[in-house]
Structure 1
Amino acid sequence: MFTTAPTAYDVERSQAIVRLIIAPIITSYALLLYQQSFIESLLALQVLWLMTMCFVVSLVLWVDIRRRPGNRPVRRVLTMLIDYGCLTAMIAVGDAPMLPIYAILLWVTVGYGLRYRSGYLLLATIMAMISLLIIVSTSAYWRSQPYLIFTLVLTTLMVPAYIHALLKRSRRATEAEQAANLAKSQFLAQASHDLRQPIHSISLFTACLRDSSLDTEQKRLVENIDKSLHSVTRLFRSILDIYSLDSGKVVPQIEVLPLHKLLQHLIQQNTEAARWAGVDIRLHCPPVYVRADHGLLNTMLQNLLSNALKYAPGQPLLVGCRRKGTGLSIEFYDKGRGIAAAHLDNIFEEFYRVRQARDSDVEGMGLGLTIVRRLGKLLGLRIRIRSVEGRGTLAAIDGLQRVAAPVERASPASGASQAPRMLDGLRICLIEDDQNVLLATATLLKKWGCEVATFTSIPDVSPNFDLVVTDFDLGREASGADCIAHVRALSGRNVPAIIMTGHDVRRVQEQLGDEEIPILSKPVQPAELRSLLVALKQKALAA
């Protein structure tokens, strides 16, 4: 999927290899003609000597390209002179028997244009015409064939001219496509940020409502809002995931991951979704470690889990890990209705959804398994689906490599298991330029017992904060990193901080330059935020 145009180094080296192959082919052709008595021994010796010289020069060029790769125009022009010099000498010396060599001359001319674009095509065409001129002026046979020469001249001019027209159209189409992709990238980047904000604020407001004193009917309404928001968030993430894959921006960052903790956290994040679906999730995974990209592997697992919740509601789900060959597999077993064999070959296609007559409408866009497969290719993993109608489905990720456990550092306990009032009295500096998000976050933090001071940009006061929670993009005046640095400078200590962002997390990490500051991607789950707050508070108390 992620392909790039070949570099000048790759093209020149491949061209040099082709040149080394062509020389023996021409030599073999001449020897075959000599064996069949079509040419005399003198001509065969001349061809052999010329091809030997060309092969030696080609070998020198190949070595030079390997040692000094890159775009070197002088070397390219020298290469063209060598190519046309050898071909011209062959055709001029060989007369009629060497006429087929003209096909190679024309191929070389077109090849320079395709490899190096129109400027080199023009230069190659001029050199080809000079070659024909030299051939005619030095060979009596060619001078006796005016119609043949006229035909070769027209061919030498018309074929490159047509190639030039095609290259021009191709260049225009490529430029238009690049402009469209750039416009789409800019639009989706802005839309991603702008859409995350309201989804994020709705999620926080809903969490505030859930913690309020509600009657049964009101709790049911809030839960329905949560369900709808969960669906919107999942669809939104699928669209962004497929866009990131199409744009070629996804680069795996391999690290050592605790697989059991990763799966446990995944199940915790989907507790509400599993409850809505009536699914009891069981986990069987030993405390093993694997090498993978945390974010990409988590996205793959989330999509497989979401599929199981959607297509096997009311049925138990087993998430397991076991050895398979030399690697490890993560497997999802559900007891849903299964997938018909006719659908199994198509389920990885974009927007493909398994539908049967009188099916109820199942939410989603049919992108989940597409994303899983494409991310699997990036990570060198294989996706396996096995299903039996009426009995259930197995979805597995194969090929994970088990590694030794890293040296563990003391880490605070997860906040998910802590009492709700663990955050009482935590003094938070909250910075957010979106008023709805600012209000929603502040309201939720206060419900958790925090003391919150709100700002829309760099704080203008310097109370003794315990923690900074900030958006990263705060307009033109400052960034979240600037605000964190400002608060730390005023307080004279390294105040812990959290960044919540609607932009690409890795780009924010690069700009931030501080691995100790956790970054949450909007829309943030309230439970995830509270867990992190508790962990940071415990870490501060232990220090």
Structure 2
Amino acid sequence: MDRLKPTPAPHRHGRVGWLWLLALLLCSSAWLPTAANATAAASKPSLGLRLQQAEFRTDVQSPWQRVELPDTWSHRGLSAGGTGQYRLQVDLGSSTPSGVWALRAERMSTRHEVRVNGVWVRGHLGSDEGTPRPMPTLVSIPAGLLHAGVNEVWIDVRHGSRAGLSDLVLGPEAALEPGYTWSQHRSATLAQLANAAGAAIGIFVLSLWAARRSEVVLGSFGALALLASLRNLSYYPLGPSVSLPNPGFWFFAAQVASVWLLGWFAMAFAGRRPAWFARLLNGSAALLLPAGLVVSWLGDLQPLRGIVYPWLLLLTLPALGLIGWRTLQPAAQLQRLLPATLLLVLGSALHDYLYQMGHTSIMDSYWLPYTVPLTIAGYAAVLTHRLVQVMAEGERLNLSLERRVAERTRELQAANAAKTRFLATASHDLRQPMMTIGLLTSLLREQALSPALRQLVERLQEASAAMDHLLRGLLDLSRLESGTVRPRRAAVALQPLFEAVARQCDELAMRKGLRLILHPTTAVVDSDPVLLEQVLANLVGNAVRYTEAGGVLVGVRRAGAGQVRLQVIDTGPGIPREAQLTIFDEFVQLDTPVAARSHGVGLGLAIVKRSLALLEAPLELRSEPGRGSRFSITLERARSAEAQQLPTATTAPRAAPPAAHNAAHVTAPMSAHRAAQEDPGELTPQTSPAGLLVHRRIWHLEDDEAAREALRLRLERWGAQVLGVADLAQWRQLISDAARHPPPDLLICDRHLPDGDGLTALDDWRRLYPGTPVLVVTGDTAPTDLQTLAEAGVPLLHKPFSSDELLSALLTMLPPGAPDAPQ
């Protein structure tokens, strides 16, 4: 046998093929390089002796044959698997190697035994390390084992379908190790990293699909990407080492499942589902998976792979056709990247089939581990583009929505402002005639009338009162719904509220023979005094109105830390369970005889509900038919410092208009008629003679002729001397001639005048008659108007007012003592 002479390591064509693969992968080329059959580790020749000739035999009985390295068994007509033995002789000349040397191979079976000069160095053919694969290998040769002259190297290998041996390099281990490391990274680590990234993309896409199950494209692609990436990772020993029974079947099943998922992804992507293709996919999977399992347990899967894998390649063609058809649509320019990368995968699959069957060079490697991540990245780019488009569209829609919301908000604000102006105007214009009717009706009652006429006047007065109640309820409800009412929280003592509500409801309770019981309390809560009094007045008024026998109880209980529960309990007819929610709607009344006789309109509880919503105070209703009702309001206690600053109930001014009628706020001294009610000893029209205001001189500024005339008649009936003017021009004339008139005792001034604001007349009045009282009467309800009135610091009487309220206010404001007789 001739000696094998060492030859220098040339640049072989495999290195160029590998670099070509990397370049084309980076450039998303449409063809595959022969990258994995590279034989060099770096851009410079490896240090050491390259061995390219050897002798080979299949067993000890077979003769030795000279072979060229790299050696591919199938190219020499050998069977695709089994064992073989290589023998190489290396002449190291006259020098003995020092240190540790190594033998490096680009491709050597993972099952091998290496002997140097008859001494075993590494490996065992019988080891159970999984399926044999040709991989980069570095065999360390202990120091002293090589000597000068001829050295003999024996390599026994066991192969699967991919059998052979690359050329070898012998040299110092330190010099060969960097090239081996690079070769390992190039052949395995690079593919592992790419497929690990592909698996991560697959998991991410599956998580998106889990959130949107209707996106079948996402689900099928994510599963396909994850499965294909895990399959590619398992090709390499450096991949995840999961011990599975019957591993050959799992590789086979992964191939079948990948094609099945590809088909369903293609149908979902294209939006078309050919029945024949779906049946073909499902039928193939249902047939091939059990067949593979049986064959893998009975023997070798390789013959079945040789039949099945070409069929799987054919099944990918309809899938590519569907994807290609979809990407030809005008709006799918970027998606055309997908069929291009899938063509790469199809070419790689054909190559890998030939490689797995042993028909390509031993220097070759799988291509799918490189092209599958490229395809995944391609579709990930499509998904990213889609995501960016969706985000851009979302931003555009958000901007559009924000513009529309801003426009709608401006429209609503304008509508609310218009509604507020309308309510203010309507309130003023409607309250004016209501006041006139009330004053004139009271005058009629005082006349000597026949019983029939007196009965008619009483009915007129009842109708006027009902209309006044309805008007006030509608206006209060409209203000609450318009959003113009804003709570102004303060420390509120509940006892004065009880007393005020009692004065409003006592008369009706006495007429019906009911007991109205209000338990005294020292509780002080954090709330809006006006809104809270309005709520309490409505609840108590409703209870009195709808209760026929028994009574009404108002009290306060503790309700936990820092809270109290304000309760109104009656012995009325009760509220059925099915009506306990609707009873708080507008114009809803129980269909009972009691409700029919109450003359209510169904607005009180609606006002209560909306007022408590503004106060953020929970309301609870418990009621049973025939056993009465209990309304409970949970209120926060006031802080102790605020509670200590409260004046006493008997002297505390209530800076608000009549709360039962008005939800707006006025910060002003006490309303005149409310002040009279604070002193039960004051005279009222029911107990006073008609001349109670005799010789009192009252000036009156009012633009409405009917209202001015009705008020004049009412005041003169009580004995007052009235001087009235209709506008500011007449007022100025009166002021200029003031010396010609006796000093007045009181001014009654309307707010709205045709030529200005009635409040401007107050400056002239205070200059000429300092200390002389003024009573402002108004129908204003808008918050801004009420705030202006509050800042004026004058007593207010809100239209429409009754004769009783007017007289109470006048008696409170006029100084005691007999007035001077007219001059």
> What's the CA shift for 1:230?
1.8
Code of the residue aligned with 1:244 in structure 2: it is R
Query: Is 2:717 aligned against 1:452?
Result: no
Q: Using the alignment, how far apart are the partners of 2:382 and 2:614 within structure 1?
A: 57
Query: Is 2:587 aligned against 1:355?
Result: no
Distance 1:157 1:507, change over 3 A: closer
Gaps of 5+ in 2: 1-195, 209-373, 654-674, 819-823
- Give the alignment of 1:237-276 within 5 angstroms: 237-255=472-490, 259-270=494-505, 273-274=508-509
Equivalent residue for 2:606, pick from 370, 375, 393: 370
Distance 1:323 1:430, change over 3 A: same
Distance 1:216 1:280, change over 3 A: farther
Q: Using the alignment, how far apart are the partners of 1:423 and 1:416 within structure 2?
A: 19
> What's the CA shift for 1:497?
0.9
* TM-superposition CA deviations, 1:356-399 (whole Å, max 9, x none): 59974764443321221222233343433332322322334443
- Give the alignment of 1:321-332 within 5 angstroms: 321-325=555-559, 329-332=565-568
* TM-superposition CA deviations, 1:322-380 (whole Å, max 9, x none): 43346555543333222122322432234433225997476444332122122223334
* SS state at 1:454 partner: strand
Q: Using the alignment, how far apart are the partners of 1:256 and 1:177 within structure 2?
A: 33
* SS state at 1:530 partner: helix
Deviates more, 1:496-505 or 1:392-401: 392-401
Q: Do the aligned residues in 1 keep the contact of 2:575 with 2:625 (CA within 8 Å)?
A: yes
Query: Is 2:773 aligned against 1:488?
Result: no
> What's the CA shift for 1:450?
1.9
- Give the alignment of 1:163-182 within 5 angstroms: 163-182=398-417
Q: Using the alignment, how far apart are the partners of 2:816 and 2:786 within structure 1?
A: 22
Query: Is 2:753 aligned against 1:474?
Result: yes
Q: Which residue of 2 aligns with 1:526?
A: 803
Q: Do the aligned residues in 1 keep the contact of 2:751 with 2:777 (CA within 8 Å)?
A: yes
Q: Using the alignment, how far apart are the partners of 1:190 and 1:378 within structure 2?
A: 24
Equivalent residue for 1:443, pick from 696, 709, 713: 713
Q: Using the alignment, how far apart are the partners of 1:147 and 1:323 within structure 2?
A: 67
> What's the CA shift for 1:206?
1.6
Distance 1:190 1:156, change over 3 A: same
Code of the residue aligned with 2:799 in structure 1: it is K
* TM-superposition CA deviations, 1:101-143 (whole Å, max 9, x none): 9x99xxxxxxxxxxxxxxxxxxxxxxxxxxxxxxxxxxx9999
- Give the alignment of 1:198-277 within 5 angstroms: 198-255=433-490, 259-270=494-505, 273-274=508-509
> TM-score scaled by structure 1?
0.65
Query: Is 2:771 aligned against 1:501?
Result: no
Q: Do the aligned residues in 1 keep the contact of 2:546 with 2:594 (CA within 8 Å)?
A: no
* Aligned pairs, number: 409
* SS state at 1:213 partner: coil
Distance 1:391 1:220, change over 3 A: farther
Query: Is 2:546 aligned against 1:282?
Result: no
Distance 1:274 1:428, change over 3 A: farther
Q: Do the aligned residues in 1 keep the contact of 2:485 with 2:783 (CA within 8 Å)?
A: no
Q: Using the alignment, how far apart are the partners of 2:618 and 2:771 within structure 1?
A: 44
Higher Cα radius of gyration: 2
* SS state at 1:386 partner: strand
* SS state at 1:295 partner: helix
* TM-superposition CA deviations, 1:155-207 (whole Å, max 9, x none): 35434344444445444444444443333333222212111111121111122
Q: Using the alignment, how far apart are the partners of 2:810 and 2:707 within structure 1?
A: 18
Q: Using the alignment, how far apart are the partners of 2:407 and 2:792 within structure 1?
A: 43
Distance 1:172 1:537, change over 3 A: closer
Q: Using the alignment, how far apart are the partners of 2:813 and 2:613 within structure 1?
A: 36
Deviates more, 1:171-180 or 1:387-396: 171-180
> TM-score scaled by structure 2?
0.44
> What's the CA shift for 1:495?
2.1
Q: Using the alignment, how far apart are the partners of 1:358 and 1:521 within structure 2?
A: 31
Distance 1:540 1:184, change over 3 A: farther
Q: Using the alignment, how far apart are the partners of 1:315 and 1:470 within structure 2?
A: 44
* SS state at 2:390 partner: helix
Q: Which residue of 2 aligns with 1:428?
A: 698
* SS state at 1:352 partner: coil
* TM-superposition CA deviations, 1:402-447 (whole Å, max 9, x none): 7455267599764664333543332211111111111112211222
- Give the alignment of 1:85-96 within 5 angstroms: none
Gaps of 5+ in 1: 1-93, 105-139
Distance 1:284 1:510, change over 3 A: closer
* SS state at 1:225 partner: helix
Equivalent residue for 2:552, pick from 295, 314, 318: 318
Code of the residue aligned with 1:479 in structure 2: it is D
* SS state at 2:797 partner: strand
Q: Which residue of 2 aligns with 1:185?
A: 420
> What's the CA shift for 1:503?
0.8
Q: Do the aligned residues in 1 keep the contact of 2:584 with 2:605 (CA within 8 Å)?
A: yes
Deviates more, 1:495-504 or 1:175-184: 175-184
Equivalent residue for 2:629, pick from 382, 390, 393: 393
Q: Using the alignment, how far apart are the partners of 1:330 and 1:498 within structure 2?
A: 35
Q: Using the alignment, how far apart are the partners of 1:211 and 1:471 within structure 2?
A: 26
